[in-house]
Amino acid sequence: MSRTNRSTQAFVIAAAIFTISGCSSGTADTSKRIPAGEPCDLLTPHEAADILETNRDDILVEPSDGFQCDYRSESLFSGANVVRGQDMSKMSTDEQVDIGEIHGTRLDVGADTSCGVHVVLDDEDSTQRFSTIATGAPSTMQKTACEISDAFAAAILDNLPG
């Protein structure tokens, strides 16, 4: 085989690898980044109250396990969990969720009254992913659990620098 043919083959193989790796990336096309901190730093209790359509004094914020923050309404028996830096791929479905200009993946949380979304800003950096899972949307609320979860994710994305 001639040197030119080997060079051409090497170029074709390199181009194919580059194309495949570029297409397979799940990284969001964004400059937004999750800053260092705790999961409860991603959303204020007031923002959670607005999304849950309840009084701001009604929201309980409880950090848990170092990677999760629970936002609960005492009066509505509903809330949402914000999970930070965890691989949620085992719960991911094929459904894509548009949250502004960012694409998330719907999570199968195994309950009719709950719904979640997983957002990855950079697949190679585990600190650049988060999920929101809404639990128990009350019948008095005009939002579904998925709409609550998506609203939590949108509020977090709006708060991120970048």
Domains contained in the chain, CATH given: 39-159 (3.40.1000)
Per-residue pLDDT reduced to its tens digit, 73-83: 888 778 999 99
Supply the pLDDT for residue 22. 35
Determine the 3-state secondary structure of 121 from DSSP. Answer: coil
pLDDT value, residue 78: 83
More confident residue, 17 or 111: 111
Q: Residue 29: pLDDT band by 50, 70, 90 thresholds?
A: low
The pLDDT of residue 15 = 31
- Residue (of 113, 38, 46, 104) closest to 68 by Cα position: 38
Three-state SS letters, 68-116: EEEEEECCCCEEEEEEECCCCHHHEEEEEEEECCEEEEEECCCCCCEEE
Q: Would you state the torsion angle of the CA atoms of residues 121, 127, 59, 105, taken in this order, to the nearest 10 degrees?
A: 40
Separation between Cα atoms, residue 17 and residue 83, nearest integer Å: 33
Q: What angle do CA 130, 48, 62 make, to 5 degrees?
A: 70
State the Cα–Cα distance between residues 111 and 78, nearest whole angstrom. Answer: 14
At 88-132, the pLDDT tens digits run: 989 999 999 999 889 999 999 887 789 999 999 998 999 999 999
Q: Tell me how far apart the terminal alpha carbons of the chain are, to the nearest angstrom.
A: 51
Residue 148's pLDDT is 92
**Taking the mean position of all CA atoms in its chain, how far away is CA 87?**
10
